[in-house]
């Protein structure tokens, strides 16, 4: 939490079993490089939390109770999101800290956890392309954009879009020069080898094959 006279922005990234690694690590890397930012991984209790591929664990250094008033939260998505929707400790924490955040953000299916906390009613929001059409069930208006800002709710599309979202937040919290400096530090200058990163450019067969990888 930012204290009076303390310029540090505190971001918290909640972890739950089955999150997608890049959903958490992308925004973490952007914000952790920024001057005067502190980023904390939180979970129901401190300790390692395993991602949706089973090969990556990130150490949560604090519990939800330890971080009641972060300035920013970034909620990752992942295959485990469906189960996490019924995790009352996580969903309640999201709703409670939202009362005090400067921004409440999500990546990919993390937007559904914002919805479970009651934060998307009447809001414009985005999510992973395979799930975005289900957002009206959370009361949201789905928007097919990479980053969507509606008040202090900021949602990012699938996985890699979390980097874009974090850079956009950094520009708002500090300035564009700072965000651009961090972008250069991480050499975020995408030149994908294939034009297949969006359902708008992928064939129907490719979309089906990609959807099968989601389980």
Is residue 108 annotated as part of the catalytic site, yes or no? yes
Report the interhelical angle of 161-173 vs 176-185 (nearest 10°): 140
* Catalytic residue selected from 108, 113, 131, 161: 108
Q: Contact, 131 vs 109, CB < 8 A?
A: yes
Beta strands in the chain (DSSP E): 9-14, 37-43, 47-50, 57-60, 62-63, 72-75, 103-107, 124-125, 141-142, 147-150, 153-156
Q: How far apart are CA 141 and CA 121, in angstroms?
A: 8
Beta strands in 45-97 (DSSP E): 47-50, 57-60, 62-63, 72-75
Q: Contact, 94 vs 114, CB < 8 A?
A: yes
Indicate which residues carry an active-site annotation.
108
């Amino acid at each position: 939490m930012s204290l009076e006279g303390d310029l540090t922005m505190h971001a918290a990234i909640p972890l739950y079993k089955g999150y997608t690694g890049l959903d958490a690590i992308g925004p973490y890397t952007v914000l952790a490089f920024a001057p005067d930012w502190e980023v904390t991984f939180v979970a129901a209790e401190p300790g390692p939390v395993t991602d949706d591929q089973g090969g990556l664990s990130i150490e949560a250094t604090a519990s939800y109770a330890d971080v009641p008033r972060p300035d920013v939260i970034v909620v990752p998505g992942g295959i485990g999101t469906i189960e996490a929707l019924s995790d009352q400790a996580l969903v309640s924490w999201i709703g409670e800290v939202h009362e005090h955040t400067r921004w409440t953000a999500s990546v990919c299916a993390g937007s559904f956890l914002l919805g479970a906390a009651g934060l998307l009613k009447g809001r414009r929001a985005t999510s992973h392309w395979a799930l975005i059409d289900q957002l009206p069930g959370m009361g949201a208006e789905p928007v097919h954009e990479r980053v969507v800002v509606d008040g202090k709710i900021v949602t990012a599309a699938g996985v890699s879009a979390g980097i874009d979202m974090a850079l956009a937040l950094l520009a708002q919290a500090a300035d564009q020069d700072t965000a651009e400096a961090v972008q250069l530090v991480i050499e975020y200058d995408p030149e994908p080898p294939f034009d297949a990163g969006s359902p708008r450019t992928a064939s129907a067969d490719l979309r089906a094959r990609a959807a099968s990888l989601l389980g």
